[in-house]
Amino acid sequence: MRIPRTASPSNEDLQWLRKQASSAVTSERLAERCRIVLLALEGQSYLQIADALSITRQKASRWCGRFNDAGRAGLEFDAPGRGRKPVYGAEMEALIVEKTLRSRPPAATQWSQRSLAKALDVSDSTVGRVWRAHGLKPHLVRTFGSSLF
């Protein structure tokens, strides 16, 4: 049984850990990370921490190590490089926004998600993500129009 070596935190950090671990408004991820460190500070092994919190001992080890290396910041923020990498860069995003705002499709009054995706050879969900990120809603007409009927 391996017992974690955790640096003794300051009183301020210890209070912060306890507050985050029991707070109802703290994210569950941060609360769990704080519970891991608090159990390690009590002298429990990684295996005991894992059993108590229904996690793996590797996870317990990882968060104790990050707390030792970086303190609070090690628990609050995930390591860089996590998550899916964007397929298209900022250039494609700028092109989608530019084309949406400054041009019109042939034989139509505004771009649809699918028509713009086809014109730029990207997926329609990519166009939708860019539109949402920039608050674009080309289907909503902002000008006065009169009916000829």
pLDDT at 87: 82
Task: Output 41-48 pairs: Cβ under 8 A, ≥24 positions apart.
Answer: 41/6, 41/8, 41/9, 41/14, 41/17, 43/3, 44/3, 44/4, 45/1, 45/2, 45/3, 45/4, 46/1, 46/2, 46/3, 46/4, 47/1, 47/2, 48/1
Q: What is the pLDDT at residue 63?
A: 93
Predicted pLDDT of residue 44: 92
Residues of the chain with pLDDT under 50: 144-146, 149
